Amino acid sequence: MTPSAAPPGQRLTPLPNPLPRPDDELARLEAAWKPPSGWKLLTAVNNTYIGIFYVATAFVFFLAAGVLALLMRIQLAVPENTFLDQSLYNQLFTMHGTVMMFLFAVPVVEAIGVLLLPNMLGARDLPFPRLSAYAFWAYLIGGTVFFGSLFFGNAPDGGWFMNPPLTSYRYSQGQGADWWLLGIGFIEISAIAGAIEIIVGILRTRAPGMSLDKLPIYAWAMLVFAGMIVFAFPAVILATMLLELERAFHWPFFIAELGGDPLLWQHLFWFFGHPEVYIIFLPAAGMVSLIVPTMARTPLVAHRLIVLALAGTGFLSFGLWVHHMFATGIPSLSLSFFAAAGMAVSIPSAIQVFAWIATFASGRVQLGTPALFVLGFLAVFVIGGLTGVMVAVVPFNWQVHDTYFIVAHLHYVLFGGMVFPLFAAFYYWTPFVSRKRLSERLGRWVFGLIFVGFNLAFLPMHITGLAGMPRRVYTYGAGLGWDNLNMLSTVGAFLIAAGVAVFTMDVLRNWRFAITEAAGNVWNAGTLEWLPTGAYSVRSIPIVTSREPLWDQPDLAANVDAGRYFLPGTATGRRETLLTSAVYARPEYLLQLPGPGWSPLLAAAGTAAFFLLLTVKLVVPALIGGGFAIVMILWWMWGSDPGPNHAPVNIGGGVTVPVYVTGPASHSWWAMVSLLLVSGMLFGSLVFSYLYLWTVSPHVWPTDRDALPRLPYPFVSAALLATSSVAIAYGGRALRKADADSPGSAHWRVRLGLVAAMPLLAAALGVELYAQWQAGFRPEASSYGAVVYTLAALQGQYVLVLIVMGGYTLARSWRGLLDCQRRATFDNTMLLWHYAVAQGLLALLLVHGFPRSLG
């Protein structure tokens, strides 16, 4: 036991709770965590259930997008084939890429995180179970409708990265592009929700003693993954907003003759798109880092260096976005920066590859199916990584740009780097949630078919590309030297499909959902997810003293299951998990968790209705759907700030923790700060867009100061913003004195602050819009007007959200649910409020100050 696991002033005993345990303790714990059954399964929020639903849904999308690939391969098997026409082919490659990236790859790794992380960290659940459920349902509904567009001949057809001008209103007149922009934009929001959940879960719900140096590599990988989503996804969300604004209202962000620039889309898209590759790869690498030591029966070599590699990849991969734009005429020195960053990022990847090889070399390998897939991954991913360094070399990149060489490279990286580890993970972790493990015999067939099929399909594509075949052509002429290569690729694709079919059969035959009676630790792994579990996760929350606790703490499983560690029952009668400190994992407080409920599903349905009905221009029903979603979210939020409703509880060994905390120590504060980082990145991407458009089109920027709104306007707007922040801060100060038991004036001052702040915030926006309109700027006239009004529109979104949040906080105050102790709701509203004011002030400085600084 490490001394650092104990809260200051308290000592941890090795086994905090004595035997025998009280008779009804386990029964009460089971009752609190009893999963819903029958059709009420739809109300489940527990991570195990949501995790399984999530993985299964993502796998179905994998199968569906795989079928699209097979259709394309049939079409390309022979020259001048007429199996598919050009229009359908365009929809198929667009949907294949989009579905694989957005509906399979990111969701499936997030899903596995939701499934595994709580058990691996020794938690009972993630800190925001309903958020995971909401993210899942939003993804399921949105993804299904999006995929359905294919059956109505109405799917997007502009390629998975949707470059304008092809995808703007002039050249893509149907609704296909709108499905992509609104459907995918909405699913990205679900990915962000999951990422915030994962960040807070990893940093705050680890078992006591699991300080950062003992955090399993998979959790490190998921932490970096979630951090990357927070920083990368806002750029593409902004891009989709801008393109949809251009399509729907003709605001010219990407139209060159009105001062826009199609390359702005590519910058924003690839600022997300390149990190996206690593967003997909890092969780897979994390899985490999857990599977390899188990298969080699020895601890991972160079644990610390792998953490460095994950963190290094996390930020260096953001310096690669122009990697995808080498053929767009960007200055050669700029290209070199990105080429150099592309080579630099291979260092951390290489560290991991060498560490895995060294671990295999230093252990006694059990060559089960997971090990086979990991070995396959190493071979395929290294080839993909090396061709990646080749395409990072600018002149070579120009040669192979938009050819099948790129198709080969990206599949080696993505299929090799992510799908092989995923199959390893399916075989490895099935015994964790299934009564039976998957078949080793069939597993070898699955591996053989997929590995041979993959290389047969994609190795020749390098040559097809070097021989000049461009990607995305629906057919080609005979005799160009591409015929046999394409036939080989088609045969390979069907071999992969055969492997996936055998795997699906294996799952149908052997996979039987079970928690308590799961097959368990058949691999003799060392991490906590293999502890005996129930619906409540672990019976008692262990004290961790090493990186492979099950290897190094011999009686851990028995003692955990006997209830000898922390919190062997439910202390408050509800679902709960232990919150610990971020670095040292010291027990800090007990978080009460919600049980099953309809609100996440209904809120997700409402959100989906809003975005999807908007796509087909049914504005009023869309608004009704959006309103319904807000009501559902408020319903779920209403019970989520319980206040100190229970005395501090003894979790064992004399350690007493509170059941409610507020401020920077609370999980909700951490989630809100993560959300502010997302918001900051979104705003930063818009500021980048403003400056980028000015760089390429200075002629549409007003150079005459008299053309700009007169100076009093921005000052009035800024003063209103600042005053609204002051009003909220005033309310916050008053709240410190607002006792729960006395309905004194402090409560009225809190309400006064809230009531005053809302119109001030809205008025600031109104003044800004009036000032721009008065000065004669129109959003559809030029890229300048478009970006200026978009800055205001973004602020408008915050005004709307804050008015809802302010009203909600006010309602809680009226109902007596807000006081000096029970103040998490107010604090979160206040954090977002100050952020929105700061963002509004910066936007005013940019819009009114920057053009003046030019003149």
Please, what is the minimum distance in Å from the beta carbon of residue 326 to another protein? 12
What CA–CA distance (Å, rounded) separates 291 from 218?
10
Contacting another protein within 656-685 (CB under 8 A): 665
Given the rule CB under 8 A, which of 342-350, 522-530, 549-557, 716-724 is the region that contacts another protein?
342-350
Q: What is the DSSP letter of 711?
A: T
Size of the site for another protein (CB under 8 A): 44
At which residue do the structure tokens 């209202």 appear?
A: 249
Name which of 536, 564, 654 is nearest 28 in CA terms: 536
Name which of 402, 311, 396 is nearest 352 in CA terms: 311
**Which residues make beta-bridge pairs with 537?**
534
Position 318 contacts another protein (CB under 8 A): yes
Name which of 84, 65, 97, 114 is nearest 222 in CA terms: 114
Position 173 contacts another protein (CB under 8 A): no
For 405-441, the DSSP string reads: HHHHHHHHHHIIIIIHHHHHHHHHHHHHHBSSPPPHH
Position 248 contacts another protein (CB under 8 A): no
Please, what is the minimum distance in Å from the beta carbon of residue 171 to another protein? 27
Position 716 contacts another protein (CB under 8 A): no
Given the rule CB under 8 A, which of 124-132, 152-160, 252-260, 689-697 is the region that contacts another protein?
689-697
SS3 of 120, please?
helix
Please, what is the minimum distance in Å from the beta carbon of residue 551 to another protein? 17
Nearest residue (CB) to another protein, 46 versus 674:
674
Position 347 contacts another protein (CB under 8 A): yes
Name which of 352, 465, 337, 467 is nearest 410 in CA terms: 465
Position 85 contacts another protein (CB under 8 A): no
Considering only 337, 715, 748, 773, the residue that binds another protein (CB under 8 A) is 337
Name which of 677, 678, 724 is nearest 830 in CA terms: 724
Nearest residue (CB) to another protein, 227 versus 709:
227
Position 395 contacts another protein (CB under 8 A): no
Nearest residue (CB) to another protein, 8 versus 20:
8
What CA–CA distance (Å, rounded) separates 683 from 797?
12
Q: What is the DSSP letter of 474?
A: S
Which residues touch 748 (CB under 8 Å, ≥6 apart)?
A: none
Distance of CA 413 to the CA centre of its chain: 20
Position 339 contacts another protein (CB under 8 A): yes
Please, what is the minimum distance in Å from the beta carbon of residue 344 to another protein? 4
Q: Give the end-to-end CA distance of the chain in Å, rounded to a whole number.
A: 67
Going residue by residue from 257 to 296, which x/- string records binding to another protein, judged by CB under 8 A? ----------------------------------------
Nearest residue (CB) to another protein, 77 versus 228:
228
Considering only 334, 366, 484, 524, the residue that binds another protein (CB under 8 A) is 334
Which residues touch 241 (CB under 8 Å, ≥6 apart)?
A: 185, 790
Please, what is the minimum distance in Å from the beta carbon of residue 695 to another protein? 5
Contacting another protein within 567-596 (CB under 8 A): 581, 583-584, 586, 588
Position 81 contacts another protein (CB under 8 A): no
**Residues 515-549: b if buried by 16+ CB within 10 A, e if exposed:** beebbbbebebbbbbbbebebbbbbbbbbbbebbb
Please, what is the minimum distance in Å from the beta carbon of residue 779 to another protein? 24
Please, what is the minimum distance in Å from the beta carbon of residue 737 to another protein? 25
Considering only 36, 159, 319, 626, the residue that binds another protein (CB under 8 A) is 319
At which residue do the structure tokens 């049980």 appear?
A: 595
Task: Name residue 256's amino acid.
Answer: A
- By CB atoms closer than 10 A (0-12, 13-18, 19+), residue 235 is buried
Please, what is the minimum distance in Å from the beta carbon of residue 661 to another protein? 10
What CA–CA distance (Å, rounded) separates 720 from 762?
9
Q: What is the 3-state secondary structure (H, E, C) of 719-743?
A: HHHHHHHHHHHHHHHHHHCCCCCCC
Please, what is the minimum distance in Å from the beta carbon of residue 299 to another protein? 14
What CA–CA distance (Å, rounded) separates 608 from 655?
45
What CA–CA distance (Å, rounded) separates 396 from 411?
19
What CA–CA distance (Å, rounded) separates 500 from 52?
19
Nearest residue (CB) to another protein, 581 versus 650:
581
Considering only 28, 60, 248, 315, the residue that binds another protein (CB under 8 A) is 315
Given the rule CB under 8 A, which of 207-215, 437-445, 449-457, 483-491 is the region that contacts another protein?
207-215
Please, what is the minimum distance in Å from the beta carbon of residue 626 to another protein? 35
What CA–CA distance (Å, rounded) separates 442 from 232?
39
Nearest residue (CB) to another protein, 491 versus 665:
665
Positions in the binding site for another protein (CB under 8 A): 2-4, 7-8, 211-214, 304-305, 307-308, 311-312, 314-316, 318-319, 330-337, 339-341, 343-344, 347-348, 581, 583-584, 586, 588, 665, 691, 695-696
